[in-house]
Amino acid sequence: MELSERSHQLDLLARRLGDLGSPAGPPADARPVIALTGPVGSGKTTLLQAFARRAADADARFLGASASRAERAVPLEVVRQLVRAAPPDDARARLERLLDQGALTWPDLDDDQEGAARTIAAIGGALLELAARGPLVIGVDDVHHADVPSLRCLDYVARRIPGLPVLIVLTEAPRTRPWHPEVYAELLQPARLHRIRIPLLTPDGTYQALADRLGVPTARSVAEEVHRISGGNPLLVQALADDHLTAAPRGAARPEAGEAFREAVLSCLYRCEHLVLKAARALAVTGEPLHGALLPQLVGVRAESALLAIDASTSAGLITEGGLRHAAVGRAVLDGTTAEERARLHRLAACLLHEDGASPVLVAGHLLRTDELAEPWMARTLLDAGEQALLDGEVDAALRFLRRANRDCADECLRARARSALARAEWRLDPQAAMPHLQGVASAVRAGHLGSTQAAGPIQYLLWHGQIEKAVELVQHLGERADSSDPRSAAELLVTKGWMATLYPGVTIDHTAPAAARRDPLTVAKVKQRLQGVTMLASVLERGDGGAVEEADRVLSTIGLDDERDMWTAICALITMIYADRLDLAGDWCGRLGRSATVSRHPTPAAMLTALDAAIAGRRGDLLRAQKLADTALTQLSPKGWGVVIGIPLAIRLRALTFLGELDAAAACLQVPVPQVLFETPFGLHYLHARGLHALAAGSPESALADFQLCGQLMTAWRLDLPALIPWRTESARALLQIGRRQQAEKLVREELGRLRPGHVRYRAAALRVLAAAQDGPDPIPHLRGSVRLLRQCGDRMELAHSLTDLGHAYQQAGDLRQARKAARAARTLAQECGLPLLRPAAGTTRGGPVGADPDVTVLVEGLSDTESRVATLAAQGHTNREIAEKLFLTVSAIEQRLTRIYRKLDVDSRRQLAVRLRLDRPGALPAERLGTPRTPPGRDDDARR
């Protein structure tokens, strides 16, 4: 690794070494001084050491020395090191005496040029005498740091080398100011100098160096990244290799810039001029390239000096394109800087960038790292930066800016803005975390420090968390000042009122547009645009208007979820598509929005989209996916974080588990605490609907009816009695059929059909299915065929499976067994696709008892559901699993699962034992009693039902 891509330079040195030993001596044009020139860390010292070994192998005497910045004021120190490398003989002893005398008298020779010349001549002549014993090579590392008398001695020797077997090899760093430029220039005058440049490694050179150190396989995997970090500087490449070996036991696959790299970077900088270190610190603090006058001002030097420092760092591979090559370089530089110096540089950088008109985000990054916000503009800049970061979706950065502004800002209006923005930022990550800021926002609104524009978001969060009274109070405070406000604030207030009425339709609030809003046509247009989500949704719910879908698609193409003020509009647009049964389009938009950088990084909008995706899956009949997505949504935010909106994912999960037959798991959903204010929102309607469906499936039709009727009461009170929102009449009719109140069921469902619009396909199909079960006289087949046709149109496979089940049973009762089997097979296929375990005709369609089983021989055992009791009875009678599935309109898989549970619950392991347990092992035996009663599902809210 030591000499990767250095063979050419070593060969040049070797040829000059060969000239020294030639009987003819060096060529007449041979230059006696060679300078190895390359940036710090490029391997000059390593090359000089390798040449020294070559010289020793060639029986040449090598005298080496290394100059140091710390010793350049020590007279003759470099020559003393050269003499120490000579054999201990009389010549060396004489040189040492001359050096001792010269070092002692040199300070007194400043004004005695002749005396200084005699001293140099004596020492230089003694050095040349060593050449009489054979070829002599003098090597000095970092000659730019050499003391003046040593440089003069070397110059004396260099001028007398021609004809002698003597070679001087020096190493130097370009762009480094020598200790004494004039004397240095004398030594390295072009006529006697041959410069050999030592470049940084190429990518191939970096790979070869790593292969020598780490082995070929590892080098192949890390070489590209190592070269990118190091810039090809051999010292940094070596350090990264060492760090990689250290990290290897931990299984690190990528190169890690660790302690060795940090020390190598600092070594490079400390070996350069102090100005280079200052420039590197400035660039490390700013974290990006500095152009124009900023760098010189930050470093505190003239522009020419700053450019010199940049050139030196660039040649060493530490800087590229005006900035530090890699963040690891910056971290290493800052590690070598005191906290006080870092804070000073950040404060100065913030001031310079602010004066230069830099973006608030860039300036604020430095203000965060200062000790105090000494100037009024500093807090304002942090606030502007936080709000801009929010718009850019960089919530973590926004929180850092806003927290500092809120902590140190002395201006109450600015602090109120900071609290509002903090609430908006926290809400994106966790709505519950926004709550502590809302009290400060409320106080600021009351004090007049915050207007509608800044308060709109926090008021929506109050609505989210069910704090409706406080939200109404703030809206009223803002309304009292709205006429004197600017049109934008007035418009924001009107939009806030619109959303309040949408989320809490029972709240009475003045929707009159403030005068400031009415005076400005652009403001009126803005209000309509912001509230178009409500308009689209109402159009679909009331009329099934397909044109609203096109408008929703257009809206989603123009807005996103970057600004929470647009979030509700986007959500309403998605819900519009869902209610219009444009599920493919809604799913596509959910995916596109979910993949956006803003949503993927922020749990709150991500959770909302996941919940809507679950709703899409549920309406398609994909119950397993709906359940999975609802579970995901419920884990993305805590129950408290969901606020009243928890009604969406919780209702979807409850409904999916209910239809999947997982009634115990569904009942657990009812144990999740929900705020009572949930039932003042449309989200509460969905929760009540799902809870009623669970009660219906669990055999509690009276409880289900109470929930469905409560939905109807709330919707009527809110003037939202729209079947497409919650088809409470159809669902109530289902419950009434189970109770046995057929006439009331038929009346309700006919009323529902009369309220539906042509676009409400899904709800008409469901109502037709219930009507077929409810009416006594006419043949149910036409209604069921209509239901099937409509469901195929809207794509709800689960409801289609149920309607096909009812249709198959109706055909069976009409004696058309071929059509019955065809419908039953189609129903079972759909049931398997949807994960439905249970398919049985709707209550009321079975005249005289359960399908395929004689009610007189169905044993109802405590611990078994009605369905399990029917399965157990048929199995005990000797029916096969397939026969039982066909009789009960279940899938074979569902029969197998139920039999497994039945065997476990009754502690039997065969059909024979099951017959004994059910007392069906004797001919003519009939069950004497019902041993169990339906259980009331836990977690029901009686107050809400009332």
| CATH number, domain with residue 41 | 3.40.50.300
Residue 519's pLDDT is 64
341 within a domain of the structure (yes/no): no
Whether residue 80 lies inside any domain: the answer is yes
Distance CA 466, CA 644 (A): 6
Q: Give the least confident one: 434-438, 469-473, 492-496, 871-875.
A: 492-496
Q: Which of 599, 432, 640 is nearest to 613 (CA)?
A: 599
In percent, how much of the chain has pLDDT > 70? 87
Given pLDDT bands bounded at 50, 70 and 90, which one contains residue 179? confident
**pTM > 0.85:** no
Across the range 126-146, mean pLDDT stands at 90
What local confidence, expressed as pLDDT, does residue 938 receive?
29
Please tell me the distance from the alpha carbon of residue 759 to that of residue 381, in angstroms, as a whole number.
Answer: 53
Look at residue 945 and tell me whether its pLDDT is greater than 70.
no
pLDDT value of residue 180: 82
918-931 exposure pattern, b = at least 16 Cβ within 10 A, e = fewer:
bebeeeeeebeeee
Residue 922 has pLDDT above 60, yes or no: no
Tell me what pLDDT residue 421 has: 93
Q: Give the confidence band of 850 by pLDDT, cuts at 50, 70, 90.
A: very low
254-266, pLDDT tens digit by residue? 888 889 988 988 8
- The most distant pair of C-alpha atoms in the chain lies apart, rounded to whole Å, by 141
Of 690, 660, 664, whose CA–CA distance to 891 is shortest? 660
Percent of the chain whose predicted confidence (pLDDT) is above 90: 45
Structure confidence at residue 55 (pLDDT)? 93
Residue 434 DSSP class:
G
Q: Which of 251-260, 397-406, 412-421, 839-848 has the lowest mean pLDDT?
A: 839-848
Residue 847 maps to a domain:
no
Q: Which residue among 177, 197, 217 closes a domain?
A: 197
pLDDT (tens digit per residue) in 641-683 = 999 999 999 999 999 999 998 999 999 999 999 999 999 999 9
Res 925 pLDDT > 90: no
Tokens read off for 123: 């020492």
Structural domain containing residue 932: 853-946
pLDDT of residue 795: 85
Q: Which of 414, 421, 420, 352 is nearest to 389 (CA)?
A: 421
pLDDT of residue 933: 30
Structure tokens belonging to residue 688: 């009540």
Answer whether residue 872 is part of any domain.
Answer: yes
Q: DSSP of 794-849, one letter per residue?
A: HT-HHHHHHHHHHHHHHHHHHT-HHHHHHHHHHHHHHHHHHT-----PPTTSSSSS
Please write the tens of the pLDDT for every residue from 680-727. Answer: 999 999 999 999 999 999 989 999 999 999 999 999 999 989 898 999
What confidence category does residue 853 fall into, taking pLDDT thresholds of 50, 70 and 90? very low
In a domain, 569, yes or no: no
pLDDT of residue 329: 82
Give residue-wise pLDDT tens across range 812-837. 888 888 898 899 889 988 988 888 87
The contacts of residue 922 (CB under 8 Å, 6+ apart) are none
- Measured on CA atoms in the order 58, 59, 60, 62, is the torsion positive or negative? positive
Encoding tokens for residue 195? 């410069």
Provide mean pLDDT across the span 599-624. 91
* Lowest-pLDDT choice from 353-357, 450-454, 517-521, 887-891: 517-521
Residue 865 is part of a domain; what is its CATH number? 1.10.10.10
The yes-or-no verdict on residue 610 having pLDDT over 90 is: yes
Last residue of a domain, one of 169, 197, 225: 197
Q: What are the phi and psi torsion angles at 188 (to 5°)? A: -100, 40
Residue written as token pair 């009489």: 132
- In angstroms, the Cα distances linking 225 to 207, 284, 523 are 10, 20, 54
Residue 657 lies in a domain: no
Between 96 and 321, the more confident residue is 96
Residue 788 domain-assigned?
no
pLDDT value at position 287?
Answer: 72
Distance of CA 619 to the CA centre of its chain: 30
Q: Where is the domain boundary, 197, 226, 247?
A: 197
User: So what's the pLDDT on residue 845?
Assistant: 56
The whole-number pLDDT of residue 524 equals 67
Distance in Å from the first CA to the final CA of the chain: 83
Q: Does the pLDDT at position 109 exceed 50?
A: yes
Alpha-carbon span 107 to 335, nearest angstrom: 40
Residue 313 has pLDDT above 60, yes or no: no
The rounded mean pLDDT for the chain is 84
* pLDDT interval class at 729 (50, 70, 90): very high
Tens digits of residue pLDDT in 150-170: 999 999 999 998 878 899 999
User: Under a CB-based contact definition with an 8 Å cutoff, are residues 729 and 751 in contact?
Assistant: yes
pLDDT at 856 over 80: no
**Residue 842 near residue 773 (C-beta atoms within 8 A):** yes
| Predicted confidence (pLDDT) per residue in 481-506, tens digit | 755 556 777 778 888 888 888 889 99
Domains identified in the chain, total number: 2
Q: Is 61 contained in some domain?
A: yes
Average pLDDT over residues 368-395: 90
Q: Which residues 6+ apart lie within 8 Å of 937 measured at CB?
A: 663, 667, 670, 694, 695, 698, 700, 703
